[in-house]
Structure 1
Amino acid sequence: MDFAELLTAMATKVRNQRDAIQTEEATKNAFVMPFISSILGYDVFNPLEVVPEFTADVGIKRGEKIDYAIMRDGEVQMLIECKKSTEPLKIEHASQLFRYFAVTNARIAVLTNGETYQFYTDLDAPNRMDEKPFLVLDLLDIDETLIPELIKLTKDVFDLDSIISAAGELKYIGQIKRTIAAQFKDPEDDWIRFFTTRVYDGAFTQKVREQFTTLVTKATKQFLNDQVNDRLKTALGASSFPIAESTAAAEAVTSRPVAEDDLDRDTELETTLEELEGYQIVKAIACSEVRPHRVVHRDAKSYFAVLLDDNNRKPIARLHFNGKRQKYLGLFDADKNETRYAIESLDEIYHHASAIREMVKAYEN
């Protein structure tokens, strides 16, 4: 397997086993050691490469241990501190990393809970670990742009100079991307004001702020949906659509907001990003048969429906993603009988592309 496939396999392992991992030791054995071995390429059973429970006396601190030290030519190259997978990572967890970083030759420090890996170096001050990571890998949401930088950290091609030279740019790009993602999810006043003052000429009063908070949130969600949909259409080669369609169907769809207003239909429902991503995949597949605006979604307590023309009598698919472990894709036959197919990842929806298209064709005929 190539590096990207190894990462995907590691992510699947974490996703499948995370509910069973309750302790720090279990996290190390199930997630961190396999990561060091299969992803970084070091032999966890060779003390010349990986030293568990690494000890280095630090000032008045005696006998403190760091979870793993990655060795290269007899020198400490990388320090790894682990926390249990059920615990979100905080900078307070890195206290030992800070101390050890200053007294070893390590230029790379890693804080992890087996799901997220935060990589640190000393950009701000020599031999002093930065307070913010230059690279963050989330195995449950892998950023593919980071893969080339991760490869530089592996045993076979370890390139410290290249890593450090790229770390400054990575650090700030990563922080900017995470800040943008946070604003899309829960926008702050400055974010709301930034967009409001560019489209609204009046004073930015409390009433205006409340009004535009909703508008900016909806606009950003719609923008993300549009971007994802465009990329999926390009990937599937769905660049042309049937021109003929009934006027009644068009009026039924265009007489109401389609993409984002559905999220507000039932305040008890929580539409997840994973459901929206699954919807975009189904929609992109269906777009080879009909125009995109005719494929809409409707969330329910037990499933997430994808419909043609916002019509309950024209179901295209159902996403059963509410279970903690197993996901299912529901597809329909000519008599509207649903069959559920177990899927491990959203990519597996593409395996059922023919059935999705046939369902849409049946409604059109």
Structure 2
Amino acid sequence: MDFEIALNNLGDKIKNTQDKILTEEATKTSYILPFLNVLGYDVFDPTVVVPEFTADIGRKKNEKVDYAIMVKDKPLILIEAKTHTETLDRHKTQLERYFTVTESKFAVLTNGIEYRFYSDLEKPNVMDKGPFLTIDLLNLKDRDFKELEKFKSENFNVENILSMAGRKKYVNGVKSILREEMKEPSEDFIRIFASKLINKHLRQQVIEEFRGYVKQAMNETITDLVNDKINALKDKLNNENNIENENIEEQIEETKDNGIVTTDEELEGYFIVKSIFAEKIDLNRIAQRDTKSYFGILLDDNNRKWLVRLHFNYSNKYLEIRTGDKESEKYLLDSLNDIYKYKDGIINTLNVVGEGLN
């Protein structure tokens, strides 16, 4: 299964089940162990993922951390787990103690939704005060997938991860400083700009005057960058839709001689279904073929991988969703918007044809 799809699916599962997961054990079973499984660790092999790993601390014996991930028989990743409803800020001290008395190089504090990754970049065998990487499964970013790839069992390399951790530490530090400067620019920060723009002594009155200029300039710059990104995305989507429409028009012309007429409603239904698949798969893989009996929506333009069929050639309109190798379910549609009601079933067709999204 594709790594990104698996993580996104886990995030969706969390969104849909948060109100049903009420204990720490349930959080571990439903969220944390599946996360480790996505990273490629066999959670059923006690030589790989060790639950209740013993980490004796001084005179305290049999102190246990929730999980240790073993790499070449060494506990290189310690994981302290909390209930998904808990914030993590007040639970770091316990993990710090475990980290110091083991051979681990990485420590993870998690509530099943947020994962904070720590190492000992500042002082050997002493866990850093701040995480070098924070992952929120309910708000995954493109860069998160790239960083987590390094923690997959097949990719695990201590030096590579420490190199990434060192970079992330300073990048996160710069981002933190920038956030603070954006909220309230410091005098040193203001002087950087004022000294480049005026040729007079920077008295306090000038500094205060430039404080407003700097805040406004930063706000406008951020707004412009965001707008540029949105406009670029709109242009890309418009271009893709234009190409898609041109291809469909060509196919309609080709099928006219066969007595097949592709209607506007079928095309609208196709685009609705395609927008649903957009969450899970590259849209270039979703294709359509119209027939006299139905409008078919396929994976990889392969008839054996049909996903959804639109039966719009009758007075009543039906949506047919594939549920098995030779099984399907039909649903009566009062309007095309009713297609959205069957979003989960539509997405699950990818599992049916072997994409393995679960």
Q: CA deviation at 1:176?
A: 3.1
Asked if 1:70 corresponds to 2:73, the answer is no
What is residue 168 of structure 2 aligned with on the other side?
Answer: 170
Partner of 1:155: 153
Q: 1:85 to 1:343 in 2, by over 3 A?
A: farther
Q: Deviations over 1:248-294 (max 9, x none)?
A: xxxxxxxxxxxxxxxxxxxxxxxxxxxxxxxxxxxxxxxxxxxxxxx
Asked if residue 229 in structure 1 is aligned to residue 230 in structure 2, the reply is yes
Q: Describe the superposition over 1:81-100 as per-residue Cα deviations: whole angstroms up to 9, x where unpaired.
A: 1122122221x312222112
Kindly tell me the number of residue pairs found equivalent between the two proteins. 246
Corresponding residue number in structure 1 for 2:60 = 61
> How far off its partner does 1:166 sit?
2.1
Letter in 1 for 2:236: A
Contact 2:190–2:214 (CA under 8 A) maintained in structure 1: no
Contact 2:133 2:168 in 1 (8 A): yes
Q: 2-side partners of 1:26 and 1:101: how far apart? A: 25
Deviation of the 1:217 alpha carbon: 7.6
- Partner in structure 1 of residue 141 of structure 2: 143
Letter matched to residue 229 of structure 1: I
Structure 2 unmatched ranges of 5 or more: 199-204, 243-334, 348-358
In the alignment, residue 188 of structure 1 is paired with which amino acid?
A: E
For 2:69 and 2:230, how far apart are their aligned partners in 1?
42
Structure 1: which amino acid aligns with 2:91?
Answer: H
- Counterpart AA for 1:78: I
Map 1:187-266 → 2, pairs under 5 A:
187-190=183-186, 194=190, 198=194, 203-205=206-208, 215=216, 219=220, 222-236=223-237, 238=239
1:229: how far off?
Answer: 1.0
Matching of residues 41-190 of structure 1 within 5 Å = 41-90=40-89, 92-177=90-175, 180=178, 187-190=183-186
2: CA distance, partners of 1:191 / 1:53: 51
In 2, Cα distance between the equivalents of 1:6 and 1:135? 20
Check if 1:8 corresponds to 2:8.
Answer: yes
- Cα deviation for residue 65 of structure 1 reads 1.3
User: Shift of residue 16 of structure 1?
Assistant: 1.9
2:18 counterpart residue number: 18
1:184-240 Cα shifts (integer Å, max 9, x gaps)? 6xx23439974996599863549x868986x4685255234313313313532559x
Structure 1 unaligned regions, length at least 5: 242-332, 349-365
Could you tell me how far 1:46 is from its partner in structure 2?
A: 1.2
Task: Give the structure 2 partner of residue 303 of structure 1.
Answer: none
Aligned residue for 1:203, secondary structure, equals: helix
Equivalent position SS for 1:174: helix
Distance of 2:162 and 2:212 partners within structure 1: 44
Report if the CA contact (8 A) 1:183-1:191 is conserved: no
Counting aligned pairs with the same residue, the percent is 39
Q: Which residue of 1 aligns with 2:270?
A: none
1:23 offset after TM fit, Å? 2.8
Distance in 1 separating the partners of 2:191 and 2:16: 41
CA contact (8 A) 1:67 1:82 kept: yes
2:289 is aligned to: none
Task: Write the distance in 1 (CA, Å) between the matches of 2:28 and 2:142.
Answer: 24
Contact 1:66–1:81, Cα closer than 8 Å, also in 2: yes
Q: Return the alpha-carbon distance in structure 2 between the equivalents of residues 34 and 191 of structure 1.
A: 48
1:85/1:181 CA distance change after superposition, 3 Å:
farther
Answer whether contact 2:181 2:189 (CA < 8 A) is retained: no
Partners of 2:187 and 2:154 in 1: CA distance? 44
Larger Rg: 2
CA distance in 2, matches of 1:161, 1:3: 22
Would the aligned equivalents of 2:187 and 2:207 in 1 still touch at CA under 8 Å? no
Deviations 1:41-81 (A, max 9, x none): 11112111111111121102222211101112221121001
Q: Which secondary structure does the structure 2 equivalent of 1:22 belong to?
A: coil
